[in-house]
Amino acid sequence: MDSALTILSQVVMMFVLIAVGFVCYRIGMFTNRANKQISNFVLTIVTAALILDTYQTDSNPKLIANLGICFVLSVLVLFLGVIVSLVLKWKGKNHDTIATERFGTIYPNSAYMGIPLLLATVGETGVFYASAFFIAFNLMTWTQGVSLLTGKMDKKLILTAITSPAIISIIIGLPMFLFQIKFPAPVASAVSSLAGLMTPLSMVVSGVFIAQTNLIKAFTSIRVYIVSFLKLILIPAIVLMILTILPLDYEVKLTMLILSAAPCATGTMLFASRFGGDIETASSVFTVSTILCIITIPALIMVSQLLW
């Protein structure tokens, strides 16, 4: 129950920050260009700093073993999304729209929504475990995700996936964790300060994205609600049932449940724009799923408290 209340409190706080971004854009304080620049800053510098900061913890065999378990579970969760998203092909007509809907169903907002919630519940250990999810997420978005939107596979994009800032920070941070190499105090302080920007900046950016959405059209689309149901309820419910029967540490279970329950990724809009998807649909599923998760995530955590 405590975790559910913590999640609810954190989600409400995050939505206050989202509202700030929404209002700032509507009154002209933010421009599209500024928001893209801040978004890139969060996805590159801030995310990398957060990962490096979590890898500065003391090493122990249990953490290493759980990190490997989380990677396997992350791959399974994403492939579960691939399978569940096939439902959207039913009565679908436009390839770009269906592909964008499926992308939103498969890939959760693990950075913008997942990390702040993990920090509030599991702490830095949750972010440490989530770094395994980032590896699977980046590899799949730049391969399966792009292939889904374009209809073809570009092997060159695999290089893009493994050279993303999140992956590079893991490549740097993991050996430092294993061999207990610590940053000098001033560097560690700077990295920690950058990591602290994750929650406020990511939520403000999300608010700006929502402010650019046609809210009436988004909330009156049946297919948007179908995507939201698959992403926010069906997939995490299946994950919850699987985690319930597995003899895993509570922190591992909660980390994977929160990541799987996160709304449609911000990348749904970014990838749709870059690779020919349906941008309007991407914006709609992102907005509606993000707003609805204020109800679904605390509810799922509450159910998990009863089962675990």
Q: Could you tell me which residues come within 8 angstroms of residue 188 by beta carbon, excluding any fewer than 6 positions away? A: 53, 56, 182
Query: Cα separation of 234 and 85, whole Å?
Result: 11
Across-strand partners of 264?
Answer: 108
| pTM of the complete model beyond 0.85 | yes
Alpha helices for 60-142 (secondary structure H): 61-84, 95-106, 115-121, 124-140
Provide the pLDDT confidence category of residue 220 given band limits of 50, 70 and 90. very high
Q: Is the pLDDT of residue 282 over 90?
A: yes
pLDDT in tens, 141-179: 988 999 999 888 777 777 777 888 888 998 999 999 989
Provide the pLDDT confidence category of residue 193 given band limits of 50, 70 and 90. very high
Query: Cα separation of 237 and 74, whole Å?
Result: 15
pLDDT in tens, 47-57: 899 889 988 98
Give me the residue label for tokens 């700006």: 208
